[in-house]
Structure formats: C-alpha cells, structure tokens
Chain A
C-alpha cells in the first residue's frame, strides 16, 4: 500500500500531456534482460500469450514472459522465444486467410502485489496476421495502466500496419519478434491556468501603466480647434455685417 502515494508523485512530475511516461525495452530472441538481483527485489513476471489459428478459434500459447517492475519507476521488459517452424507455417496460413493474431496478458496490478492473485481474466488485443507477417514480426505492444497501477488494456500494432499482399520469402524474417514494449500510465488533464493568466495580466498592466502620459484635450487637438475657432470668428463677423445691411435695407 505504501507504494501508491509514490506513484501519484511520479504522475504529478509529468510536465505536459504530450510527453508520455514511457520506459520501454526492446527485446530480441530469448536473451534475458536484467540481472536476477533486480527482479528479485520488486519485479515479477507475467506470461504473454498469443493465438493464431486458421479457424479463428482462440487457443492461447505462451509467447514470452513480461518482466514488470512496479514502484517508483515502472518498467517492463520482455523475454520471448523464437517462433517454431510449425508456428511460422501456421502464421503464414492465417495471414493468407486474413485471420487475426491475438495476444493476451493477465490482469495484474503493478504496485499492489497483494491483489495480483485475486484478479481474474485477461486483457486481449489483436492485429491482422498478414500485417504481422509483412512487417517481419515488428510489433509495438503497449500496456496501459490506470491511476492505481492496474493494467487495464493492452494493444498491439505493427509497423508498417498495412497488408499489401507482399510475399515474405525469407523464413529468417519470421523467426524472431522485433518488439517495442511500452507502458503508458494515464496523463493528468490540465487545470485552468489561472496563475499564469493573472501574472500575464499584471505584466500587461505594468507595461501599459508607464508610457501613457495623459495630455489634456486641448493639448491634443489644438491644431484642429484653433483653425475652427478662427473660421467661426471670421464667418460670424461677415454674417453680422451682412445681416446689418439687410436690416437696414428693410427699413
């Protein structure tokens, strides 16, 4: 239970939503990564199983083992064996009928070791078998966790992801997986950024405060007012004389 707050701490460090907290390890062939001491400390392993059948009925077999290390820095590595001759042929056959290649991992918690045994069920994902074959077994497996460190989903994609119908001639290409493995914890959604906004407003206020020297109305517009007044005076004087003349005529 003590590790829960530590995970929260880890999540709050993540600065923006664009940077995914990703500790991944690339694993080839059956070579074990990480020394025994490390796995004994806090890591544990769960099976990664896969299924590919021509009749599309799921029969999961062991593909490899996921070495999970929870706690402060969640990390994962994968040790997996090569595909056997028989498996390679089956995979090619499945690809030919546009079947699916499915993987599954058991539901586990990365932080709370006590509940690991209690949860049942699996998380399943799939990819088209043909795209796996055409990408020469280059797949990207992503594990998603929720806020408390439970595995909630798994996804598998191949790069490239398309099925173009190209034949894979070389048997060697289908022997070993070239897997990229990632754990993605949830990202923290941003809060309204009031502090930054207020700061910015203050700076703007300061900027605006200084240079604005208040001139009087007359000082600003004297160049328009003076000619106007002059003009009015001139025309007024003319009017008076004209009016006087008219009046005089009337009498």
Chain B
C-alpha cells in the first residue's frame, strides 16, 4: 500500500488537472421522449415547462432558452413509469409505477410536496375534483377502486371498491365542479355503467347502466364535453352518440349519424375525439375536434339543447389539432402543411371556428427529422386582450422544437440522444490545403511535365491559403477580442494538430443518427431513419476512414430486426451525414453475423461480410476486385457464430465460391449454463510491449492472440450456493478452449473488458454478498513460440494463466479500457458507477502478479503488494461533480497524442472528456519556462564561444613563450 500512496495521492497535481480539464469537458443532459408536457400557467410571466418522459423522468425547462432547470430521475423500468402528470397552480401531481405512488411536486423549486402510497391495482385514470371553484382533491381510479386524496397533504379522504369490477372495465373518471364524482365503466359490446359518488363520504348516490352494444372502450372512443355530456364515436355505424351523464331521464344514447353532418371517415381509420376542459372546477367546453382521417379534422359544436351538433369548420389537410386556453378564451390550434419544408400553425376561435388574424406561425420541417407528432400550446393574452401563443412541437424522432411568432425557432432539443445505442469516433478531414497536398500524391502520375505543373499549382494554392490566413489574422486583430467567435460549422471542420477533435457519430434507439463535434458538443448533422422498428439492433461500422483523400470517409449502419433477423444497411458519410450514393446490397435473408475484413477494395473501403441464416456470405462492397481478393484469401478467412439460446459456438471457413463450411463446434449445455456475453478484442488496439520485464531481468512474454474470444456464462441454477459464472477463452479460428474458469457462488450481471493479454470481469458474490473484480492474464512464458507472427493454427502450447480476485466496494454499470495510439501509455479501466461517477482505475491494481509477500524482485518490478480490497479514490473520478445519469456505455478512442485518450460516456446524459493514464508525458506544461530555458541555452553557448576564444589566446600566448 505504501508504494501506491506515493504515486497516486498527489492532490496538487489533481487540482491542476481539474483546472485544465475544465476547458474541454462537456456534459449534455437529456430527458427522453416526452409523454406529458404542461406549461406553467400559474402566472403570466412564468416561463417554465414541465415534462414527464418515457425514461421515468420529471423535468422542468426554461421555455425561453430550453435549458434544464431541474430533473428528477426515477427508477428504470415499470417501477418508475409515470402514468399521468397533471398540473394545477403550483402543484404537479403524478401517478408513478402503474398506480403505486401518488406524488405532488412543487413546480417552483422542483421539491417533493408529499408522496402517498396507493392501494394495489392497476392505474386507470385520475382527475382533479373541485368544489365551489376551488380544487381541493384529486381522484384516482384504479381497476377495482376509486380513492380521493387531499391536494394539500396527500391524505386519503375516502376509498371505495367499485361494484362488479370483475365484469365492468372502469376506464374514466369525471368531475365538472359539482358535488359528485362520476366513474364510467364499460362491459364491452354490452352496456355502459355510470356511478356517481358523493364527494363527502364516497357513498354511491346514483348508479345506472345504459345499453351500448357498439361500445368497446370508453378510453379510446369517448370524451366528455359541454355540461357533462358523454360524446362517443363508433367507427362501425359511422355515428356519434351523446348521453348526458347526470340526467336520470335519458335512458339511452342519442345517435347522430355522421352522414347527417356531411362527414365521411377515411377508409380503415379509427375516428378520434379531442376535447378540452380548461379548468377542473368548470365543465368542459362544448366544442370538440373529430379526426376523420390521417390529415382530416373537423371542429364540431354541441348545441345548447344537448342533442344536436353543428359543424363549425372543416380542416383538410390538417396534421395536428389542439385546444389552448388563456383567461376566459379558448382557441383551437391547427397545424396544416404549407409546402415541402414548412407547416403553418393557425389559431381559430373555438366557439365560432373563425380564424384569428395575425396568428400564423411557420414551423420549419426538418428533412432529416421526423414528422410532427404532437402540439403543446402555450397561449397567453397580449396587452390589447388578443391571444398570442407559443408552440412546442414534438416530432417522431423525439425532438422538441419551441417556436413563436412568426416562425422563429426559440430552441430545439434532440431528446433522441437520451438513448444512444452505439457510437464511433471518426477523424475529421484535413484542411483543404493539406488535403490538396495529399491528393497530389494520391493521384496517378502522368509524366514529368504534368507532375511539375501539379506541384506548382498546389504550391500556389498553399500560398494563397497562407495569404488568406494572414489577412484574416490581420482583420480580426482589429476587432475586440470577445467578438471573434470560434463557432464550429460543418464548413470549418478540420483536424487539429494532435487529432484531439473528432466527429462523434451516435446512433440512437429511435433511429436518428447524429454527428457531434467532440470539442464543442454541438450537433453538426442529424439524420432520421424512418421505418426503424423499436426493437431494432444497430451495428455501426467504419468502412473507410478519413485517411484516403479524395475518397470520402464511409460508415455503414447495420439495422437488424431482433425478431425476424432481417437487416438493412444505411451507408453514409460520417462527416456530413449524407447518405452515400453507393447502393447497399439487398439482404433478403436474416443476417446472423457481420464481420469487417482487413481486405480493402480499390477505393480503400474495408470489406464487410454478412452471413445469412443459410451460411451464405454477402460482401459489401462487392466489386470484381473484392470478389477476386476474397477468392484468393478464402482459405484464411474464418469466422464464428454464437447461438446463445442453444449454447452453441461454431466456427466456419470461407470457400472460394463464398459459401462456408463448418469447421469446429463447441456446445455449452443450456441446462447447466447460458452464454450471456461474448467479446473479442478491439481491432484498432495496439500493444507496444510484447512482454513484461521481471525482477530478475528475464522477460515474461504475453500471449497476444488477436482471435481470442472471451465468453461469459451464467449458471441456470440460481441457488446462491450452486450459482456460478463461467469464463471461457476460446480461439475464434480453431475453436480451441484456451482456458475455462469457473467462479463459484457468483452470479451476474457480469461486466467485462477483454484487451491485450487480459480479461477483467466483475460479478456479484452470492455468498459474501459483494461485488468482486477478477483479472485473468495470459502469458506464453519466458520464451516465445514464434516471435515474428501469430497464427492460431500454429500455437500448440496452451498459455500460462494467472488470475487474482479483489473485492470492489461498489456495484458497477459499465466498464471499458482506455485506448491510446501506440499502446505505450499504461492502461486504465473506466468504470461507470450507478452514482453517475466514472472511475479511472489503474490496471496496475488489477494485476494477477501482485505478490502476497513483497520480495526484492517484486519491488524491482514495481508490483503493488496484494490487498483483497480494491480502493476507490475520489480523485480517480474523471467527471468530478458532473455525474452522468444512468451510464450505459463508455467509448474510448485514441488521439494523436500518445498520452491522451478520448472518452465519451453515454446513457441518459452524454459526457465527453480526455484522460491521461500516464499523465501528460508528451506535452509541455502550460507554465513551461521557455525564456529561462532558452536564455540558459544562449548563455551556455556564448560562454562556450568565449571560453574557446580565451583558450585559443592562452594557447597562442603559451606557444609564443
């Protein structure tokens, strides 16, 4: 322990580093797909926006800037699901976890007012209940019970079981400001049940059932409008049905045929009703929207008699409609398509259907984004009592756009980034001039004279660029310093000196791709892939890097449907996000495996092989050149397939006709253990040193098998005494099991990293109830079998395997190893903790050669003595106080500097930084004293000159003597 304390607890240097880090660290926070959104209508000047999302997050935004004010991240999964969010005054009420909890939040500060545990039963509906114009209660309807809670403290006023809840499906609760609460239930295709509860004690005042053989669901086809009139639509009979809820004298629904209103439903479309209840203490407005087709809406009004309906206005085409209320005025908001690139949003008076003048807002349609999906309108009164409004538009790609008149986009939030699935970092292109020089060498030579001309022309271009640069410097020097903006745009992108700035290509679960500049964090391009299934699996492959000017870099995204296995390819340029003109191959059969070969075609693109379920291989690109190369190399192209449901690992070899043959097979019986993860090594990893120098000056050579796979299994037996985690090291070419270790009394989730000659895995020890880290290292021994080249086919001896295990005092969520350009820098493990911290754990601490007893040799080797517990030092947290919520993955990429590794952590948030596992050994410090060093150099130089001269004179004098 003594040795490491001198190395690592240098708090002074840590502080220095944190100051330096602050310049290129950035974190972006997201919330996910919006389910409920409300504007703070409590005060006129308020600019707060409240969102509840599918990621179980309740958040507040500043609606002027789009900045996150606060955010509450609840549990993942159904336990934290937000069922409903309703807003009243300063209270935001939320039902969480399928009707488990009722919560009230203070909207000003985001603090929790109270939380009430609800009785079991699945949540159906909730609404505010008011008496005499003041909202005092909230009613929560469950499958078999209704309960009333006080708004001030959440205490339950009463709870009542619903009658016949096993046959009647209760789906809606309605209160219009009277002393009764109405519960609506339906027996599908039979009748509707209406129960009126007394607000005071929960007693059933009235109960009646109405024949409704056409009705299957209240939730989807009915709304309450006007003075408590239930309005339903039936797609089968093409009619509207009305029924006064309170009135006893109306024993049945009143039918109004759509035909009598001159309305027609689009073929196969389920009509939708939209109504609005501006204030819970008052009854809903008597106007409502009826959607008749995908882009056809009608504004209708229920006449005062409560039976007849008048059509106010027909909107076709209209994508989206909504109601908004401010003060006493309620307006209808309609979004209509304008042209290819924009939509119009207009306000209409709700009671007359008249268009309000000067209320048009233009919503720009992003061609690389999704279609509009939902409108959230914030209406407010201007000084002259006219209505003004701002609109929050949610698009299919989860993006939120906030616009105000006449069409100014105030802000946009790309909430798709809350669910990044995979990412890659791509080098930026060289500047135009550098690229020009590169291009000169890239092209084929035509002869001596054209070559000279080409050289001259490129030098002229260089001179021109230099002069332009000088002019720019001169021009900007006259401006005040603050005004010189260094905004990154797609045009000014260029690689920096040390390749520290890169393009982060991110793939999100919604199917939207992003290109993000790693330095500023700004989104430079985005592309929304429509028709991506929600359960699709993505694999991002860099086929051609930026290094092959003039060929553009090329990325390929493999999108695979998890159920059918059918896949499609999206080929694009990672710098500009544009879809490539190269046509991807048609893939009619399910794809089992994809592999990137080191073979390149004549355009320097790496070849992607796709293996289908009949073990046939498709190559992409599949030019003649590629096919020829594949035929030549076929006998040395091996690949493996893993069927975790059958516990089957098998290896294949490519044949000359691009069919395959099975050459090995390993079967792990599924009744004993199941394969949970398989991981090879990263192909761009470099290992600088072939071995480790030991204390006695001999060398222990590493077993560096590039084809090695780490297969992790978990036992099917979950009993704590018999559960185990298996780690298999399998050669991916020969199928040889290099090592097979069993961690007894252990279970997952297992996180592991496989790199160089080691595997680090983390598991849960069921006996000791703690998390443990284990490290496996493979060595060939003190002699190399074949030092020039590694071949899996020619390594008859099994490596020596060393293993050690440590206790880790925290659970982890993800793990990755740092990666540098040449692999000289020592390695660190980046561990994402559930607390949101990212720990940079030196690999030195995970070394199976850590000695139990310190000897002369182990001290010579700088081995830390073994300690069973792995420390967590707070100065190892690379993100300091900037926690990353729900870290899902960590991506590491090398930079041009050997000491520096670029790190991106993604989950709910995105966090980007750099780490220096061996400190910045190849960078001069900021406070490096150039003056002193150069003056000393000069002084020494002159001193040498003078003393030389003096010595000469002296010699001369002596010679004369």
Instruction: Give me the interface of A with B, judged by CB distance under 8 Å.
Output: 17-18, 56-58, 98, 100, 102, 104, 107, 119, 121-128, 131, 140, 142, 144, 146-148, 150, 152-153, 155, 157-163, 184-194, 196-197, 200
Contact = CB atoms under 8 A, between A and B. Distances in A.
Given A17-B801, A192-B868, A125 B736 contact: yes
A56 B663 CA distance: 10
Interface in B796-819: 796, 800-807
Given A17-B801, A147-B672, A157 B796 contact: yes
Interface of B: 635, 650, 653, 655, 661-669, 672-673, 715, 724, 726-727, 730, 734-737, 739-744, 765, 772, 774, 786, 793-796, 800-807, 852-853, 866-869
B740 A190 contact: no
A100 B655 CA distance: 12
Contacts of A57: 661
B740 A157 contact: no
Contact of B796 (A152, A159, A163, A193): A159
Please name the 9 residue pairs, one residue from A and one from B, whose CB atoms are nearest each other, closest first. A155-B736, A153-B666, A192-B868, A161-B794, A157-B796, A186-B740, A161-B796, A124-B665, A189-B743
A126 B794 contact: no
A189 B669 contact: no
Nearest to B848: A190
Contacts of B800: 18
Contacts of B650: 124
Given A192-B868, A200-B852, A155 B796 contact: no
A192 to B, nearest CB: 4
Contacts of B715: 147
Interface centre among A56, A147, A152, A200 (most CB of B within 10 A): A152
Contacts of A185: 740
Contacts of B662: 58, 124
Contacts of B853: 200
Contacts of B655: 56
A56 B659 CA distance: 12
A18 B650 CA distance: 27
23 contacts: A17-B741, A56-B655, A104-B665, A121-B667, A125-B664, A126-B663, A127-B734, A131-B794, A150-B669, A152-B666, A152-B669, A152-B737, A153-B736, A157-B736, A157-B796, A184-B740, A189-B727, A190-B805, A192-B772, A192-B869, A193-B868, A194-B807, A197-B866
Given A123-B667, A193-B868, A146 B673 contact: yes
B715 to A, nearest CB: 8
Nearest to B668: A152
Given A160-B796, A186-B741, A193-B866, A153 B735 contact: yes
Given A18-B800, A146-B673, A162-B794, A123 B868 contact: no
A125 B668 CA distance: 15
Nearest to B742: A186
A57 B727 CA distance: 33
B776 to A, nearest CB: 8
Given A189-B727, A189-B741, A194-B868, A123 B793 contact: no
Contacts of B793: 127-128, 131, 161
Given A100-B653, A144-B740, A189-B727, 4 more contacts: A107-B669, A193-B852, A194-B868, A197-B868
Given A125-B734, A125-B736, A197-B866, A102 B796 contact: no
Contacts of B807: 192, 194
Nearest to A57: B661
A203 to B, nearest CB: 10
A192 B664 contact: no
A126 B663 CA distance: 6
B656 to A, nearest CB: 10
Contacts of B730: 153
A100 B651 CA distance: 13
B669 A190 contact: no
Contact of A188 (B744, B802, B868): B744
Contacts of A147: 672-673, 715, 724, 726, 742
Contacts of B852: 193, 196-197, 200
Contacts of B866: 193, 197
B667 A152 contact: yes
Contacts of A200: 852-853
A161 B795 contact: yes
A158 B796 contact: yes
B868 A190 contact: no
A188 B668 contact: no
A109 to B, nearest CB: 8
Contact of A155 (B727, B734, B743): B734
Contacts of A189: 727, 741-744, 774, 803, 805
Contacts of B765: 191
Contacts of A148: 669, 672
B507 to A, nearest CB: 35
A56 B803 CA distance: 40
Nearest to B773: A192
A36 B801 CA distance: 38
B408 to A, nearest CB: 61
A56 B661 contact: yes
Contacts of A17: 741, 801-803
A121 B803 CA distance: 33
Contacts of B744: 188-189
A119 to B, nearest CB: 7
A245 B835 CA distance: 73
B738 to A, nearest CB: 9
Given A144-B740, A187-B740, A189-B727, A197 B867 contact: yes
A184 B742 CA distance: 13
Nearest to B635: A98
Contact of B726 (A121, A131, A186): A186
Nearest to B795: A161
B794 A102 contact: no
Contact of B741 (A100, A150, A187, A196): A187
B462 to A, nearest CB: 52
Contact of B665 (A123, A131, A160, A162): A123
A186 B743 CA distance: 10
Contacts of B727: 189
Contacts of B665: 104, 121-124
A124 B666 CA distance: 7
Contacts of A194: 807, 868
Most chain B CB within 10 A, of A57, A163, A191, is at A191
Contacts of A161: 793-796
A56 B652 CA distance: 12
Contacts of A128: 793
A148 B794 CA distance: 31
A122 to B, nearest CB: 7
B801 A126 contact: no
B736 to A, nearest CB: 4
A157 B736 CA distance: 9
A150 B868 contact: no
A159 B796 CA distance: 6
Nearest to B649: A153
B895 to A, nearest CB: 36
Contacts of A18: 800-802
B805 A192 contact: yes
B742 A188 contact: yes
A119 B803 contact: no
A121 B730 CA distance: 20
A159 B798 CA distance: 12
Contacts of A100: 653, 663
B716 to A, nearest CB: 11
Nearest to A20: B798
Contacts of B805: 189-193
A159 B869 CA distance: 43
A124 B740 contact: no
B645 to A, nearest CB: 14
Given A98-B635, A146-B668, A194-B868, A153 B741 contact: no
A131 B650 CA distance: 22
